[in-house]
Amino acid sequence: MTSFKVAIAALVLAGLTLAQEHVSFPAQDGWIIYADLYGTGDRGVVLAHGGRFTKESWRKQAEVLVKAGFRVLAIDLRGYGQSKDGPPSLNPGFGSPLDVLTAVRYLRTMGAKSVSVVGGSMGGSAAADASIEAEPGEIDRVVLLAASASGPPEKLKGRKLFIVSRDDANADGPRLPNIRAQYEKAPEPKQLVILDGSAHAQFIFGTGQGERLMNEILRFLTQP
């Protein structure tokens, strides 16, 4: 049985209902960000959703991460879910790195000794740009799930994991070439994982590659 299946089975057999706290906090520009907080570990992980999702979409992945010892904060990016209210002039319409940075700093105030970010699609781009804007050491690791930075990839900080389906594409064509180009420009340490299929970002979790995706994320977040 794979480690992902073992983690899920353990949760089921234990009948574990994870303590989940609903929290909110202001971003630097005043926009209120709502989030779900899971676990009590001193290693933090921020989960940033894609454009067709909200913070609740991460629940299964949050449970696995908590079982691995992480404290997890799944956020609603501005304009999505509960984080809808704010001045239109402050909402770029595709997530903001400020939201991610605010979540990272919130986990630090909660006692997290390290904080990593996992972002899918829109949330991955926000995570990448947050890594660029963050202070050195502020974000320990970043997982960019079918996502790339809008800022210069040469300025990405910390350890980086790029993950994308080989045949993932949008109206502009395949996503892999641009993600590979960003990967090549990003500084070490970095990894690129290419999965089979065409599923995009968080949709991969619902395919036959979902188990491998979760295992790759766990491996990356837990490796020394």
Tell me the pLDDT tens digit for each residue of 183-200.
999 999 999 999 999 999
| 14 inside domain | no
| 66 inside domain | yes
- Pairing state between β 32-38 and 70-75: antiparallel
Assign residue 139 the CATH number of its domain: 3.40.50.1820
| 36 inside domain | yes
| 8 inside domain | no
CA–CA–CA angle 223, 11, 7 (5° rounding): 30
pLDDT band at 93 (very low <50, low <70, confident <90, very high): confident
- Distances 204 to 43, 44, 111, 165, 197 between C-alpha atoms, Å: 25, 23, 32, 8, 9
Do the beta carbons of residue 124 and residue 154 sit within 8 Å?
Answer: no
| 62 inside domain | yes
| 1 inside domain | no
| 15 inside domain | no
Domain housing 214 = 20-222
- Number of domains into which the chain is organized: 1
Q: What is the pLDDT of residues 32-82, one digit of tens each?
A: 999 999 999 999 999 999 999 999 999 999 999 999 999 999 999 999 999
Q: What is the pLDDT of residues 96-125, one digit of tens each?
A: 999 999 999 999 999 999 999 999 999 999
| 161 inside domain | yes
